[in-house]
Structure 1
Amino acid sequence: MLNVLPTPATLSQAFAGCSPFAQRASEPQSTRLSKWSARHELYPVWSATDDAKNKANQLSDAAVAEFEKASSKAQAKAGKIELYSPKYYAACTFGGIMACGLTHTAVTPLDLVKCRRQVDSKMYKGNFEAWGKIGRAEGFRGVFTGWGPTFWGYSVQGGLKYGGYEFFKKFYGDLAGEENFHKYKTLIYLAGSASAEFIADLGLCPFEAVKVRMQTTIPPFAKTTLGGISTVTGKEGFGGLYKGLYPLWGRQIPYTMMKFASFETVVEMIYNYLPGQKSEYGKGAQTAVSFTAGYIAGILCAIVSHPADVMVSKLNANRQPGEAFGAATGRIYKDIGFAGLWNGLPVRIVMIGTLTGLQWMIYDYFKIFMGLPTTGGAPPPAEQKA
């Protein structure tokens, strides 16, 4: 029977130089190469992905070098920072200012839609529709309505919260003793964060009152932070800035307790799951752990504190002059019901999860920048044998 298939020699001659497989040395030269074959060494493979990866690595190395240089200068200027010294708490306070002030300001457009939907759930159907309507009516600046009091308020609150947490965690830990600290560490995290937030909200409350009113009045009742404070105090006195303090405590204290205690717990769980010790991981890995744990903590504390967040927005926007706190709360709850306390929860989960993760990442990165250890994940001390 006639064989219609090409022989191996014919195939080799036809595709000489194109095969990805090496030719056997025993084959004749005529079957291995053709004079028309291209010289592969003249045409190296070029990959856009590899090129981009190489450039990214170069930029990353340059950024790391600049970071190390700036960090060394900052540490030399600040001097050695002893743990739990006044200089340490000052550094933590400044890190908290950066972490909270910047992140809350960045998510102002989300916060604007959340507050307006909490006051009137039928105002917008979704975030993009809301931003579109606000942009057309008030311009791009309108999408960031309230960014001024947001920045100042949460900068003050962030500094007092993070710096205060470091102080109260050490304070309550010393009261409990080293052995009891590791035994009751979650309770110490909860107590330390609650104490810090109680004080921090005294600084946040006036700015929060102005922010909510700016975001829930159309057009905004004031254009600047100082203008808003002057308007409120002129009509209601200084107490008008603090009429939302109780619901703010009701929102922020459980929020912060969950935020710090769950963060510390999740960080410890992550390092227990990973091989090796925390100290064996680099700066990038440690801040990645901080972001992951912070995002998880943010989701949990958003759920816990959301009903109080709705009441804060309602009270700041709708409370009548001279109306008692209890009467105002009862009136608002009667209007919105239990289901109304959860208006805007999906938006707030995205917002709080993202900014909480970023806050912990910024805060811990700043601590690394100043030569300090990141938060959480420290193993308990080894038991000493008698």
Structure 2
Amino acid sequence: MSDLKTTVPLYSPAYFGYSFLGGIISCSTTHSAITCLDLIKTRAQVATHTTTPLSISKLFKQVDGLKLLYTGGLTTFIGYGLQGFGKYGFYELFKYKYSSLFPKDFNQTYVYLLSSASAEFIADILLCPLEAVKIKQQTFVKSNTEFLNYQKKHLPMIATFKDLFKQGKLYTGIVPLWFRQIPYTMVKFTTFEKIVEFIYEKLDLKKQEMNKLQQASVSFVSGFFAGTMCAIVSNPADVMVSKLNSPLEDPAAKSVIKTTSERLTYEYGKIGFRGLWLGLPTRVVMISCLTSMQWLIYDSFKIVVGLPTTGGH
């Protein structure tokens, strides 16, 4: 028999409250932990063809190497904590609301897609200002050689936030962010839910008969494969978000580019379709590991507080 006991009533205020809290914990810890990979990916996305590749070995040989690798780490922790609050908490809320609106025989896959899209729309509004700050912190020093020798303190989070606020640039990337994150989250949550359903269907044990470790393992495996899929789907938009939030150096372009759409057209003209896949290998590794750990932390938290794990119910 299962040693898993759910003590919090389903869809009660406590159920949703814990879901919001679990989202904060899972996203803030995982995203900040892999800031180093995100830094490498982001700098690769905004690099020019003449940019010398970032030397990871040199970073580890210098005193401030680890600090440089985690540039924007605190911003990431706060920003993605806010995003996790919206992403996971509102997903649970919207899934419950939409399920009650539609007939019982309605295809649940559409509920997953609609719920995740709605939740991510809100989550990105919370994330966008901090994402802009983080990217500026990570890409302000354009040359990788200069970055490796950068001894000054990197742009502090609060000062950078104030600077972008004055310039009206905190939400410059909101539309590309929606284009990146909404398909990403739709694939992430729907694929996860479907893989969980598939695993439970193929196992001899029913979900309620599995112990804590078994249920958490299902979440981890499902999260890994869901992460691989959503990394691929969202990479083009991720590249454009990085481009939009990095400094525009061409003086001629600065004088004529006035809108976000003009900047997008300009950046795409420089990199083309192939350039939309910059940083993909790093992103696949990063997002697969990230997503699997997020679901593991999120569902483990739910188990600890007396909630059922996500999916299969």
TM-score (normalizing by structure 1): 0.72
Q: Which residue of 2 aligns with 1:297?
A: 226
8 A contact 1:290–1:364 mirrored in 2: yes
CA contact (8 A) 2:71 2:154 kept: no
Paired with 1:213 and 1:254, the residues of 2 have a C-alpha distance of: 24
1:282-361 → structure 2 map (5 Å cutoff): 282-318=211-247, 320=254, 323-361=258-296
Structure 1 gap segments, 5+ residues each: 1-67, 379-386
Q: Distance in 2 between matches of 1:137 and 1:119?
A: 26
- Retained in 2: the 8 A contact 1:298–1:356? yes
Q: Does 1:368 align with 2:311?
A: no
CA contact (8 A) 1:213 1:221 kept: no
Structure 1 segment 200-219 matched on structure 2, within 5 A: 200-218=123-141
Q: Indicate yes or no: 2:162 matched with 1:230.
A: yes
* Residue 196 of structure 1, aligned match among 96, 110, 119: 119
Q: 1:159 — aligned with what?
A: 85
Specify the code of the residue in structure 2 equivalent to 1:249. W
Deviation at 1:221, TM superposition (A): 8.8
Counterpart contact for 2:17–2:89, Cα < 8 Å: yes
- Give 3-state SS (helix, strand or coil) of 2:62's partner: helix
The correspondence of residues 52-63 of structure 1 with structure 2, limited to 5 A, is: none
1:174 corresponding residue in structure 2? 100
- Give CA-to-partner distance per residue, 1:128-185, whole Å, 9 cap, x none: x3353476385321110010110000000001110000000111111103232xxx11
Q: 1:351 to 1:124 in 2, by over 3 A?
A: farther
The 2-side partners of 1:338 and 1:307 are apart by 9
| Superposed displacement of residue 125, structure 1 | 4.5
* CA drift at 1:224: 2.4
Of residues 210-219 and 257-266 in structure 1, the stretch that sits farther from structure 2 once superposed is 210-219
Between 1:84-93 and 1:290-299, the stretch displaced more is 84-93
Q: 1: CA distance between counterparts of 2:33 and 2:44? A: 19
Amino acid at match of 1:342: W
Match of 1:113? 40
CA RMSD, 1 decimal = 2.2
Q: Unaligned 5+ residue runs, structure 2?
A: 142-149, 249-253
Shift, 1:228, TM fit: 1.3
Q: More deviation in 96-105 or 83-92?
A: 83-92
Task: Note if contact 1:131-1:143 (Cα within 8 Å) is conserved in structure 2.
Answer: no
How is 1:14-33 mapped onto 2 (pairs within 5 angstroms)?
none
Task: Give the conservation status (yes or no) of the 8 Å contact 1:124–1:130.
Answer: no
- CA displacement, residues 290-342 of structure 1 (integer Å, 9 cap, x when unaligned): 00000000000000000000000000004559720110000000001111100
Corresponding letter in the other structure for 2:24: I
Instruction: Give the % identical residues.
Output: 47
Return the offset for 1:124: 5.4
**Does residue 104 of the first structure (1) align with residue 31 of the second (2)?**
yes
2-side partners of 1:221 and 1:312: how far apart? Answer: 25
C-alpha displacement of 1:81: 2.7
1:89-109 C-alpha deviation (Å, 9 max, x unpaired): 110000000000000000000
Distance 2:103 2:34 in 1: 40
Which residue identity lines up with residue 160 of structure 2 in the other structure?
A: G
Q: Specify whether residues 318 and 337 from structure 1 end up closer, same or farther in structure 2 by C-alpha distance, changes over 3 A only.
A: farther
1:377 Cα deviation after fit: 1.5
User: Cα distance 1:207–1:199, how it changes in 2: closer, same or farther (>3 A)?
Assistant: same
The TM-score normalised by the length of structure 2 is 0.89
Corresponding residue of 2:12: 85
Moved more, 278-287 or 115-124: 115-124
The one-letter amino acid of 2:199's match is: I
Largest Rg, 1 or 2? 1
Q: Deviations over 1:195-231 (max 9, x none)?
A: 0000010110000000001111225895322121012
Does the aligned pair in 2 maintain the 1:105–1:150 contact within 8 Å?
A: yes
Q: Closer, same or farther in 2 for the Cα pair 1:95/1:135, shift >3 Å?
A: farther
Equivalent pair of 2:95/2:115 in contact (CA under 8 Å): yes
Of 114-123 and 92-101, the range deviating more from structure 2? 114-123
SS of equivalent to 1:317: coil
Asked if the contact 2:181/2:234 (under 8 Å) is kept, the reply is yes
Q: Distance in 2 between matches of 1:201 and 1:224?
A: 22
TM superposition shift of 1:86: 1.7
Q: Give the length in aligned residue pairs.
A: 295
